[in-house]
Amino acid sequence: MQLPQNRESSKGALAAVAAFSLWGVLPLFWKWLGDVPVLQVTAHRVIWTLAIIVPLIILRKSYPTALKAFRSPKIILIHTLAATTLAANWLIYVWATLNGHILEAALGYYINPFLYIVLGFIFWGERHSRLQLYAIALAIIGVALQFFDVEGIPWAALSLAVTFTAYGLIRKLSPLGSFSGLMMETTLMLPIAVIYLMLQSHQGNAAFGTDKLTTVLLCCTGLATAAPLLFFARGARTISLSLLGILQFIGPTGQFLIGWMVYNEPLPLMRLSSFALIWLAVGLYIFSILRNKDSKQT
């Protein structure tokens, strides 16, 4: 794998690092909203993300394409499905963070890249080296060990991995870029979010407006969602997919460290062994990419 050789690629790599680093530390932000019901947090996330994305699309002068997409039933259907999986992912992630399952959420995002690899093999016939197959097998064993640790199914981790993978696969069917696609998805979610928050307000359960800090934090949910996406889109345009895939592991690593070292989530031997196998799988996977790149250059 070649590291960025020019100024533009270097900026792209830094942008990607910024994106995944932000995703890695976001549990700290969501914890500040621990007194707010998860559904309300997710509803506000929809509203304030849209409030940030729309002006950006206008500034980028890409609104004609975005508006045209709303006249295509096929594109609307694709992004309705994408919005469903994205909303589920947001909901589960915030719930896991606020309920002491940050380590399990990190596990989900460690699984995600390997799930893409498996589906790529099943649906697109993508071939993998023997070393990559070993990495996949180690990751599967690592995930299986979590079943013993949680005395059941680590449903939060699996749900996060499945919903985000499904979102990625569905988005591949759309011609829209990341910002236009996110605008359509949040627009489709908007009516449900607004109706839910109106009902909560009518029942006297709304968190928004109860105090200044909570209100500001709820408004900032849009920034917490859009900022990493901005950096990610900037990086994805200029660096290789292999480098982007490697940098992706920064996010769950940050989540893991925060859950373990900041919030003291339990890390018994079985869970530690599980993560150790997954880290080994990640290492083998990265090594296989580096070796394949080097062999093609020689």
**How does pLDDT run along the chain (298 residues), one tens digit per residue?**
444 455 666 777 788 889 889 999 999 999 999 899 999 999 999 999 999 999 988 888 878 888 888 989 999 999 999 999 999 999 999 999 999 899 889 988 888 877 877 777 777 666 777 887 888 888 888 878 877 766 667 888 889 989 988 888 888 888 888 788 889 999 999 999 999 999 999 898 889 988 899 999 999 999 999 888 888 877 766 776 556 667 778 888 899 999 999 999 888 888 888 888 888 988 887 788 777 665 555 5
CB 267 within 8 A of CB 274: no
Distances (CA, A) of 34 to 31, 152, 298: 5, 26, 54
Does residue 1 fall inside a structural domain? Answer: no
Distance CA 41, CA 196 (A): 11
Neighbouring CB atoms inside 10 A of 59's CB total 9
Among 215, 241, 287, 174, smallest CA distance to 40 is for 215
CB 250 within 8 A of CB 17: yes
Does residue 59 fall inside a structural domain? Answer: yes
CB 245 within 8 A of CB 113: yes
Distance CA 57, CA 49 (A): 12
Element (H, E) at 101: none
pLDDT the model gives residue 24: 92
Distance CA 111, CA 286 (A): 15
Does residue 11 fall inside a structural domain? Answer: yes
Does residue 2 fall inside a structural domain? Answer: no
**What single-letter amino acid sits at 232?**
F
CB 62 within 8 A of CB 180: yes
Burial class (CB in 10 A: 0-12, 13-18, 19+), 282: buried
Does residue 224 fall inside a structural domain? Answer: yes
Among 179, 229, 192, 234, smallest CA distance to 66 is for 179
CB 112 within 8 A of CB 161: yes
- Reading phi first (left if > 0) and then psi (alpha if -120 to 50, else beta), residue 266 is in beta
| Backbone Cα Rg of the chain | 20
Distances (CA, A) of 255 to 19, 20, 91, 109: 13, 10, 17, 9
Instruction: Give the residue carrying structure tokens 């893991």.
Output: 256
Distance CA 150, CA 158 (A): 13
For the chain, the domain total comes to 1
Does residue 281 fall inside a structural domain? Answer: yes
Which tokens in the block code for residue 51?
A: 């409030």
Does residue 148 fall inside a structural domain? Answer: yes
CB 16 within 8 A of CB 247: yes
Does residue 89 fall inside a structural domain? Answer: yes
Residue 73 belongs to domain spanning: 7-297
Query: What's the pTM?
Result: 0.83
Long-range CB contact pairs, 147-155, < 8 A, 24+: 148/270, 149/268, 149/270, 149/271, 149/274, 150/104, 154/104, 154/107
pLDDT the model gives residue 3: 44
